Amino acid sequence: MKILHVVGARPNFMKVAPVHRALSRHSQVQQIVVHTGQHYDVNMSDVFFQQLGLGTPDYNLQVGSGSHARQTAEIMSRFEPLLLELAPDLVLVYGDVNSTVAAALVCSKLHVRIGHVEAGLRSFDRSMPEEINRLLTDQLADLLFTPSEDGNRNLGREGVSATKIHLVGNVMIDTLVQMLPTVERQQIPDVPQRFALVTLHRPSNVDDPAWLDEMLKSLQTIGEDLAVVFPVHPRTREQIARLGHNGSGIRGLTLLDPLPYLTFLALQRRATVVITDSGGIQEETTYLGTPCLTVRENTERPITVELGTNTLVGRDTGRLLKEMDAILQGRWRKGAIPPLWDGKAAERIATIILEYSSNKNRKAACLQT
């Protein structure tokens, strides 16, 4: 059985690693990794493959950055001839980035079976490009691997056949669990004993100059009581510079370049609080038991709010400061780890894929007799 994994951005790399590892234990499976090049910066791409033990991708389409339409179209045009050449039995796509929906569209038109890892997540906000990617990919996929029960419910409401849907748990947590022993030994930047860890990258936030300026002022206010460590995404750094801040930093904030996965995970584990607009970080902090304040109006990962340590504060910097004050006073929800977030999601995916392939082969054999 030939399986092709398509990844394109930093969150995908953490998801593909455990699935690739689980499938590699089965001799009948041949695996090929295609990196679209959607994220191409060394700190956002190469170092992740190294730290996750994936080695070098078998193919890199090198699409680079661009508008959503241009990037998606470029991925499709470069991926199609490769798909025809490799002729896989199954293509696995991950998460909700442009690479995910682009590969799914190409596979669908060429009648190649698709598996979607991290299916069924919904923010119910179609102004988010990722939401469109999630909706389209899930309608095209043949196998939908959900991380939590809300994913199953969402897919059921959208008319997806229950036979396609498989609740397997969270593969991001698989990677986290595997890496935790290494994290204990990880060298991290020189930071204070207590600190807030910040990540901001969503265009809806960082491309809004007024909001970003207000957010930076709020972080400076937080910095009066608690050190603020801020690894800055390249897009965010560019927008901060447009506000007139130079590369030397902002008073009260420790600005860092994007960090390797293990270093960032170590910081998450040690942080007093994490402030973010990322999806995956909401999950990681829930598993680690670290309070998380998410500066978004909604989340496609509601289980991190319902069961975990995550609080949605929206784009309301006043509420952010209020919630920060509560955390500093020790008043925050301790949360729990959601069901099946146990480090074994990828093993479940591998088992389902092999059973699916076996059933397809049996049906094909019956048709030939």
pLDDT of residue 367: 59
For the chain, what is the total number of helices (H) and then of strands (E)? Answer: 15, 13
Per-residue pLDDT band at 58 (split at 50, 70, 90)? very high
pLDDT of residue 61: 95
Examine the pLDDT at 38 and tell me if it is beyond 90.
no
Report pLDDT digits (tens) over 314-333.
Answer: 999 999 999 999 999 999 88
Fold exhibited by the domain 181-328: Rossmann fold (3.40.50)
Burial of residue 329 (CB within 10 Å: 0-12, 13-18, 19+) is: exposed
Per-residue pLDDT band at 369 (split at 50, 70, 90)? low
Segment 125-133 shows an average pLDDT of 95
Q: Is the dihedral of CA 159, 161, 164, 167 positive or negative?
A: positive
Report pLDDT digits (tens) over 217-268.
Answer: 999 999 999 999 999 998 899 999 999 886 556 888 999 998 888 999 999 9
Superfamily of domain 2-169+341-368: Glycogen Phosphorylase B; (3.40.50.2000)
Mean pLDDT, all residues of the chain: 92
Examine the pLDDT at 144 and tell me if it is beyond 60.
yes
CA-to-CA distance for 241 and 246, rounded, in angstroms? 6
Same fold, 2-169+341-368 and 181-328: yes
Examine the pLDDT at 208 and tell me if it is beyond 90.
yes
Q: 191 CB contacts (<8 Å, ≥6 apart)? A: 227, 229, 254, 267, 270
Segment 178-201 shows an average pLDDT of 89
pTM: 0.92
Domain-by-domain residue ranges, the chain? 2-169+341-368, 181-328
b/e burial code for range 269-292 (CB count within 10 A of at least 16 → b): bbbbbbbbbbbbbbbbbbbbebbb
Instruction: Tell me whether residue 201 is one of the annotated catalytic residues.
Output: yes
Contact predicate 186/262, CB 8 Å = yes
**Other Cβ atoms closer than 10 A to 98:** 27
Half-sphere exposure of 367 toward its Cβ, with a 13 Å CA cutoff? 6
Segment 274-281 shows an average pLDDT of 96
Per-residue pLDDT band at 55 (split at 50, 70, 90)? confident
Q: 329 CB contacts (<8 Å, ≥6 apart)? A: none
- Indicate which residue of 26, 166, 201, 245 is catalytic: 201
Two tokens, residue 23: 């499938």
